[in-house]
Chains A and B, each alone.
Chain A
């Protein structure tokens, strides 16, 4: 099977869906670059090289560079979705959510409910998230908990190139607003990605690796940190199961409960701040649904409750590490 990067996988999904459905359009800042000027367009393929080649293939009507005003173009995309198009809008950094949140939370997420089920909003908002790029507190957050909290939004966090393509195609074909979150540190990750189109249903967790002593649940990029921890644990004779929920809303509660009940020891790894987070949410769900099967407290390995630091050594310390996951798993195994 063909080896492709996470970036290529997303590009391929956009290509395939734009070719398949003329209602699919793209909107965002610097998607093509150079719009309105006399310079070269699509020189970079967007700020992260994800939209390369789409302008040439589908033209400026369908690949639209927007002014630097998230409120305006996210609102325009929500309206376009409501009136029949399938827009894929791009927020360059999820940190910019703050300036367009009304359009997402009060408008797009509410249309279906407030129009009595008669409105469809097939909108995808792609956004990058995550620390590790030395980009400071305002360009590195992991804000999926805020989005997961809002009914009416679906929230997707692919961790592999294969998942990125299948989940993005699913997101574009979905009739509700979907937040599609891409971790900047994963763009160069390479993996097997079929050339043909495919979809991965939402609320379908991936069992990354089976195991019997401890369950490691890793969200987004943290699935890889959990996997690295599982390898280290195996060297010490501890068999760790790793699960990547893939989507935080809807959440595959069935699979998480099934494995938590079977294994009894749970560590949740999340790059977001710990308070009111998806990690805290999963922990609460498991406590409520399978308390009797638990052999110890559920452990969360998360960022501290601080902004993302700019100092490189502090930024590295901020991100959950495999060593911290190993430590949390071993502490659970010591309890009994």
Chain B
């Protein structure tokens, strides 16, 4: 019997239950390889591209553009040309009964909270229950959902913990008058509850600055550090992003602000804007964000410099940057032994816009350190 493989609607992040087919990037009859971008699917946050895990001929598109289907639904069928139409039909039919019988979401992971210095810190663990852990730290105004396209891939190989930084997502604002120090303390507090001596740090933007400081505080327990467009590597940034983000209290202005985060503005969905607005509307959130923004920049000048933290690290360090970043420019010189990876077609959120490449780089470094 010929080899027949399924392309299914992926599950990106714990809240995703369905996806909408936006555009097929390949047509029936096209020959595809593993890793090829084959279809754009819209989720509650962002439109993302599915990379093929199969190689062969795209024989049948099952879900047409515009159709919304549950996670796990059969979207297309890849097979070698020898497969007969009857075999394809049987495969599609068997898939329908398999997907229907699933109840695959029975075990939905839920976030947990711990108290650090009297304030609740919310985090989501996925993957192994023990051993080395990858700590994922989002940027200003984000939450642990930033990693919806990444955490599952990392969790397939090791324990992962995505943390809501103080004042974000489900975490209370820090009581520390220094918002940056409060964030570092919150992350170290969560790590202490995990009982591990090997920590891989992954941080984005403001979370990248936090990750560098946390790594330095962990000393030899820090195994690798991956910073995605981190703050603190140059004097300049688009500081008006921070103030505009805080000021935007309606959909239209916020949409414009969020579009600055990505290379392709069309990727920002209406739901992402609504979700961000519902976070920003909560009482105390604007005050917490204002405090954090003040710790990041004064106008267009960055307040922090993380080069001292990086120079003190003895573990491998990599920097991942979107080539079209409009918030923090790609640094002109790389620091010491750190490796700089620049990704085309991505803005300030490469972990969402180029999730496949980012996941590969993260896992490559983590594997290399063992």
Beta-carbon contact of A207 and B67 below 8 Å: no
Known: A237-B66, A239-B66. A196 touches B284 (CB 8 A): yes
Residues of B within 8 A of A238 (CB): 66
Chain B residue nearest in CB terms to A198:
B281
Residues of B within 8 A of A206 (CB): 274
Determine the distance from Cα of A292 to Cα of B166 in the docked complex, in whole angstroms.
49
Which residue, B64, B66, B67, B283, has most C-beta atoms of chain A within 10 A? B66
Residue A234 is within 8 A (CB to CB) of chain B in the complex: yes
Shortest Cβ distance from residue A171 to the other chain B in the assembled complex, whole angstroms:
15
Contact with A along B239-267 (1 / 0, CB 8 A): 00000000001111000000000000000
Shortest Cβ distance from residue B315 to the other chain A in the assembled complex, whole angstroms:
36
Residue B282 is within 8 A (CB to CB) of chain A in the complex: yes
Beta-carbon contact of A197 and B283 below 8 Å: yes
Residues of A within 8 A of B269 (CB): 210
Residue A95 is within 8 A (CB to CB) of chain B in the complex: no
Residue B68 is within 8 A (CB to CB) of chain A in the complex: yes
Beta-carbon contact of B68 and A231 below 8 Å: yes
Q: Which of A210-238 contact B (CB under 8 A)?
A: 210-211, 231, 234-235, 237-238
Shortest Cβ distance from residue B115 to the other chain A in the assembled complex, whole angstroms:
17
Shortest Cβ distance from residue B338 to the other chain A in the assembled complex, whole angstroms:
38
Contact of A207 among B42, B64, B270, B278 (CB under 8 A): B270
Chain A residue nearest in CB terms to B67:
A234
Chain A residue nearest in CB terms to B269:
A210
Contact with B along A254-281 (1 / 0, CB 8 A): 1100100000000000000000000000
Determine the distance from Cα of A206 to Cα of B284 in the docked complex, in whole angstroms.
23
Determine the distance from Cα of A324 to Cα of B237 in the docked complex, in whole angstroms.
52
Contact with B along A165-203 (1 / 0, CB 8 A): 010000000000000000000000000001011111100
Beta-carbon contact of B282 and A234 below 8 Å: no
Chain A residue nearest in CB terms to B280:
A198
Shortest Cβ distance from residue A25 to the other chain B in the assembled complex, whole angstroms:
22
Determine the distance from Cα of A211 to Cα of B274 in the docked complex, in whole angstroms.
15
Residue A209 is within 8 A (CB to CB) of chain B in the complex: yes
Contact of A201 among B65, B249, B274 (CB under 8 A): B249
Contact of A204 among B65, B251, B270 (CB under 8 A): B251
Residue A162 is within 8 A (CB to CB) of chain B in the complex: yes
Shortest Cβ distance from residue B182 to the other chain A in the assembled complex, whole angstroms:
19
Beta-carbon contact of A254 and B274 below 8 Å: no
Determine the distance from Cα of A231 to Cα of B67 in the docked complex, in whole angstroms.
9
Beta-carbon contact of A200 and B68 below 8 Å: no
Determine the distance from Cα of A166 to Cα of B280 in the docked complex, in whole angstroms.
12
Known: A162-B278, A198-B282, A255-B251. A235 touches B270 (CB 8 A): no
Determine the distance from Cα of A304 to Cα of B92 in the docked complex, in whole angstroms.
45
Determine the distance from Cα of A211 to Cα of B281 in the docked complex, in whole angstroms.
26
Beta-carbon contact of A210 and B67 below 8 Å: no
Residues of B within 8 A of A166 (CB): 281
Determine the distance from Cα of A166 to Cα of B249 in the docked complex, in whole angstroms.
13
Residues of A within 8 A of B281 (CB): 166, 198-200
Known: A196-B283, A207-B270. A201 touches B67 (CB 8 A): no
Beta-carbon contact of B250 and A237 below 8 Å: no
Determine the distance from Cα of A194 to Cα of B67 in the docked complex, in whole angstroms.
30
Shortest Cβ distance from residue A330 to the other chain B in the assembled complex, whole angstroms:
14
Beta-carbon contact of A234 and B68 below 8 Å: yes
Contact with A along B5-42 (1 / 0, CB 8 A): 00000000000000010000000000000000000001
Beta-carbon contact of B66 and A198 below 8 Å: no
Known: A206-B274, A210-B270. A194 touches B282 (CB 8 A): yes
Contact of A198 among B42, B65, B271, B278 (CB under 8 A): B278
28 contacting pairs across A/B (C-beta < 8 A): A162-B278, A166-B281, A194-B282, A196-B284, A197-B282, A197-B283, A198-B281, A198-B283, A200-B281, A201-B250, A204-B250, A204-B251, A207-B251, A207-B270, A207-B274, A210-B42, A210-B269, A210-B271, A231-B68, A234-B20, A234-B68, A237-B65, A237-B66, A237-B67, A238-B66, A239-B66, A255-B251, A255-B252
B: which residues have CB within 8 A of A? 20, 42, 64-68, 249-252, 269-271, 273-274, 278, 281-284
- Interface contacts beyond A162-B278, A196-B283, A255-B252: sample of 18 additional A-B pairs, CB < 8 Å, sorted by A: A166-B281, A194-B282, A197-B282, A198-B283, A199-B281, A204-B250, A205-B251, A207-B251, A207-B274, A209-B270, A210-B42, A210-B270, A234-B66, A234-B68, A239-B66, A254-B252, A255-B251, A258-B252
